[in-house]
Amino acid sequence: MVRKLKKAESEVQGRTEKRKLRNLARLKKRKELQSAAKKVEKVAQSLAFEDDKPKKKKNKGKKKKFLKLEAKASELGVPVENLIENEEGHMVKRLEGGRFRFINEQLYTMTGEEAQKMFEEDPAAFDHYHAGYRDQAKKWPLNPVNVIIQQLRSKTGLVIADMGCGDAKIAECLGTRNTVHSFDLVAKKPCVVACEMSNVPLENNSCDVVVFCLSLMGTNINEYLREAHRLLKMGGELRIAEVTSRFENVRAFMRGVCRMGFEFKTSKTMQDYFVVFQFKKAGKIEHKRPNGLTLKPCLYKKR
Ligand SMILES: C[S@@+](CC[C@H](N)C(=O)[O-])C[C@H]1O[C@@H](n2cnc3c(N)ncnc32)[C@H](O)[C@@H]1O
C-alpha cells in the first residue's frame, strides 16, 4: 500500500514537473516571439523612417527647385538646361546679360533693315535679346506697354497696328474686342507677322491706332513714322512710348513728328523714366526727314 502510494506520488510529481517544463517552454517561446515581433517592428519603423520620410522630403524639395528653374527658364526664354542656380548659374546669366547688351546696342545703332538681316543670320540673337529685355522690364515699377493697354482698354472695334510688338501683349490683352496686327522682326507667336516695320503688309488708311512701344530703335525713325502715316486713317491715333533719357530735345522731337503729318494731342511722363505721347494724323507729310527726329540709344547698365 505504501509502495503504491509512493509510486502514485512520484507519478504526480513527474506529471507536475512535466507540466511545469511545458509551461516554461511555452513562456519562453512567447517571450521569444514577443521580442522577435518587437525587433521586426523596430526594423520596419527604421525602414519607414529611412526610406519614406526623407525621400518624400527630398523629392518635394527637388520638385520645387525644378519648378522654380522651369519658371525662370520660360521667363528668360531659354531652355532649363541653360540655367544653373549655383555659381555656374550666375556665369550663364552674366554671359546672357553681356550678349543682350551687345545686341541691344546694335539695334539702336543700325537701321531696321540691318537689324532684320542680323536676326536672319543669327536667329538665336532674337531670343537672347528678348530674354535680356524681359529681365530688364521685370525690374521696372511700371511697363509702358501696360499703360498703353490701359489707355485703350475701354475701346472696341479698333484696328490697331502694334509695331515692334515683342511678346505681342497688346494683341493678347485687346485682341478679343479689337483687331490687333502685331509686327516684329521675328515672329515668336502665331499672331505676330515677321517684317520690318517701315514696310508692313497692311493697306493704306486701314488703322485707327498705330503703336510704337519702346520700338523706335533703328536709326531710320522717319521711315517708321512715314509708315505709320500711311497706315492711319485721317484722325487716327499714333501712340509712342519711349525712355526719357533717349531725348536730346523733346520739343524738337515733337515738332519733327508734327512735320510728318501729325498733330500733338497729349504726353504723359511715367516716373521720370518713360514718356507716352499721343498724336493724331492731321494732314500730309510736310517733310520726309525733319530735324529733331532723332533719339539717343538706350543703353542698359551692367549689373
Ligand atoms: C524693347 S522691345 C519692346 C517690345 C514691345 N513693344 C513691348 O513694349 O513689350 C522692342 C521691339 O521692337 C522690335 N523692333 C525693333 N526695330 C524693329 C523694326 N525695324 N521692325 C520691326 N520690329 C522692330 C524688336 O525686335 C523688339 O521686339
Pocket test for ligand 1, best of 111, 184, 273 (most atoms within 8 A of CB): 184
**Residue type at position 171:** A
With 0-12 / 13-18 / 19 or more C-beta atoms within 10 angstroms meaning exposed / middle / buried, residue 136 is middle
Q: Which residues fall within 8 angstroms of residue 205, CB to CB, at 6 or more apart? A: 230, 231, 232, 233, 234
**Which residue lies with its CA nearest to atom 27 of ligand 1?**
166
Q: How far is the CA of 112 from the centre of ligand 1 (A)?
A: 10
Where is 51: in which H helix or E strand?
none
Q: Which of 266, 251, 216 is nearest to 111 (CA)?
A: 216
CA angle 193, 83, 302 (to 5 degrees): 80
Q: How far is CA 165 from the centre of its chain?
A: 16
Residues with CB under 6 A from ligand 1: 107, 112, 115, 133, 145, 164-167, 169, 183-185, 196-197, 213-215, 217-218
User: What is the per-residue pLDDT for 187?
Assistant: 96
**Which residue lies with its CA nearest to atom 13 of ligand 1?**
164
Q: Which residues fall within 8 angstroms of residue 255, CB to CB, at 6 or more apart? A: 290, 292
Q: How far is the CA of 163 from the centre of ligand 1 (A)?
A: 7
Contact between 274 and 242 under an 8 Å Cβ cutoff? The reply is yes
Q: How far is the CA of 265 from the centre of ligand 1 (A)?
A: 24
DSSP state of 82: G
User: What is the per-residue pLDDT for 253?
Assistant: 97
Give CA–CA dist 99/103, Å, rounded: 6
User: What is the per-residue pLDDT for 26?
Assistant: 72
Which grid coordinates belong to 176?
Answer: 478679343
DSSP state of 245: G
Phi-psi region of 261 (alpha: psi -120 to 50; beta: other; left: phi over 0): left
User: What is the per-residue pLDDT for 46?
Assistant: 47
Low-confidence stretches of the chain (pLDDT < 50) are 40, 43-44, 46-53, 55, 84, 86-88, 91
From residue 165, alpha-carbon distances to 31, 124, 127, 202 in Å are 81, 18, 14, 16
Query: What are the pLDDT digits (tens) for 78-102?
Result: 566 555 453 345 545 555 678 899 9
Which grid coordinates belong to 152?
Answer: 485703350
Pocket test for ligand 1, best of 185, 211, 243 (most atoms within 8 A of CB): 185
User: What is the per-residue pLDDT for 82?
Assistant: 58
Query: What are the pLDDT digits (tens) for 176-213?
Result: 999 999 999 999 999 999 999 999 999 999 999 999 99
User: What is the per-residue pLDDT for 88?
Assistant: 43
Q: How far is the CA of 131 from the centre of ligand 1 (A)?
A: 13
User: What is the per-residue pLDDT for 74?
Assistant: 66
